[in-house]
Structure formats: structure tokens, C-alpha cells
A and B are shown apart, each in its own frame.
Chain A
Amino acid sequence: MYLTAHHVASPVSGQEGVNAFLYLHDSTSPLPLTEIPEHSPGTLVAQAISLAPPGNLVLSYLDIVAPDDVRWERVRLGLMELVGEKRATRMPWAGELEGCYLRFSMAVRVKRQWQSELAVLYRSAQALHLAYLR
């Protein structure tokens, strides 16, 4: 599973939104988890769009690569571990934790504190995941 949430802004209108995308894989990808987002995202099965692509600037993103049947608790715990490990380092923050590959980054122009930005992306990703599984 590749689940990602983007905070995006239109370069034309300046309007902002948060979009989320859920991809599944028919079988285990031979690629390392770290390669999934760019090289083998899987098949897009659901998306939640608040500002329609294409051409929006991505201001921040949260990537979650995990088994399709992952328990959400593991994602949450992994994210906490990632934050604990990487907080003092430059973004992007990325790591393989709790069997998931997690990556978060944001541009300095985002006015929110990183905790708020990450929480917004996390909620959006979680909502799409829950909605699809329901």
C-alpha cells in the first residue's frame, strides 16, 4: 500500500487544499519500500481531492508505504518513532519503522508548526484509508 497526503497550493489563485491518494499492490513489490513512492506506487484505488490537480505546488507531503493489511496503530507508532528520531534533523524525515516506510517534508513557507502540518496530513491520509476499508 502506498498512501500519501499532499498540502497543495494553486500557483494561479493561491488557493490551498489537502489531497490524499491510496494505491494498492496486487502482490509484494520486489522493490525496497523506499522505492515505492517514485517507482512503483501501485494501482490508485481511492483519492480524496480538495484542490483539483494538475499543476498545484506541493507544500508538504506525508508518504506511508506499508502492507495492504497494515493495522493503523503501526502507522501511528511508526510516525511517532520517526518524529522522535528525526526531529532535530533537516527534512525530509524518512525511515523504515514498524514495518512501514514513512516520509514527511514541508516547505519553509508553510506557516504552521510542523506538528500541525503533519497532523493535518495524517488525518487526511487516515480518513481516506478508513473510508476505503469501510
Chain B
Amino acid sequence: MSLSPIDQYRALLNQLLFEREAAGGELPEGLESHFVERLDALWWKLSPEEQQEIDDELAAPAVATQGEEELALVDRTTPTGSHDAPRHRAA
């Protein structure tokens, strides 16, 4: 199943943001340019409404709408050799 241009744009933007963070905040110039070129090419395939949709998404506080209210998980001590999971449900 092929993604629509707007979903391709979202996926590529997510990949860029994640790769940048995972690299410590900055990607090598060549790699960053590669992402930007692909994003630019996709951008001009979007309708004005889709471009606005992307702009709105980027401006929105994504975390507040996507995170769980509370994970209700607590960690536990797990010595090497243990077979216990390192977290459990909070009582």
C-alpha cells in the first residue's frame, strides 16, 4: 500500500526529527540536505489545504494530545541474573 503525499511528508519529517535527535541534535550536512530535498519535493505535491494541515500540525503541542495521562508504572531493583521485569504497575 503506497502512502499519500501528505502521509509520506509526515513520515519523512518524523524520520528527520528522530534521526536528528538520535544523532545528538545535528545531522551531517549531506544527510540533512538529503532529507530537506526530499521534503521540498513532497511539499510541492501537496495541495494548499494539505500544506496548511502540515503547518497546523507543526504548530500544535503534539505531546499533550498523544501521551498517556499517567503510565502508572514504577521501577524495581533487578540484579544481574534476575528474571524479573524492571518495572511493574504502581500499587
Chain A residues with CB under 8 Å of chain B are 4, 6, 8, 19, 21, 37-38, 41-47, 52-61, 79-80, 83-84, 87, 90-92, 105-116, 118-120, 122-123
Contact = CB atoms under 8 A, between A and B. Distances in A.
A113 B62 contact: yes
Contacts of B83: 41-44
A57 B24 CA distance: 25
Contact of A57 (B74, B80, B81, B82): B74
Contacts, number: 128
Given A19-B86, A107-B71, A112-B63, A47 B10 contact: no
Contacts of B77: 52-54
B22 interface: yes
Contact of B66 (A4, A91, A120): A91
Contacts of B22: 119, 122-123
Interface of B: 7, 10-11, 14-15, 17-18, 21-22, 24, 62-64, 66-71, 73-87, 90
Given A43-B83, A87-B10, A114-B67, A21 B78 contact: yes
B85 A47 contact: no
B74 A56 contact: yes
A117 to B, nearest CB: 8
